[in-house]
């Protein structure tokens, strides 16, 4: 399991699940999971991974 955001323990799978649950934007995924709302260190990676997953939908 690949952890993307260690502040909130959000993995790629968690992001995938949020998207499968109907979220359609990076902001919505960030809001729902909390990812990138802590230290912000994961921000770049989080946006990249989430965009990728959204475009694979």
Residue 19 or 46 with smaller CB distance to ligand FES: 46
Q: How many Å apart are CA 4 and CA 49, to the nearest integer?
A: 8
For the bound state, the minimum distance from the C-beta of residue 41 to ligand FES, rounded and expressed in Å, comes to 5
For ligand FES (CB under 6 A), the number of binding residues is 10
**Contact in structure between 46 and 35 (CB atoms under 8 Å):** yes
| Residue linked to tokens 């959204």 | 54
Q: Please, which of residues 1-57 interact with ligand FES by CB under 6 A?
A: 5-7, 35-36, 38-42
HSE of 34, CA atoms in CB hemisphere, 13 A: 9
Task: By CB under 6 A, name the binding residues for ligand FES.
Answer: 5-7, 35-36, 38-42
């Amino acid at each position: 399991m690949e952890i993307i955001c260690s502040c909130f323990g959000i993995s790629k799978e968690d992001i995938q699940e949020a998207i499968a649950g109907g979220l359609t934007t990076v902001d919505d995924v960030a809001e729902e999971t909390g990812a990138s709302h802590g230290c912000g260190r994961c921000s770049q990676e989080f946006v990249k991974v989430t965009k990728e997953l959204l475009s694979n939908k």
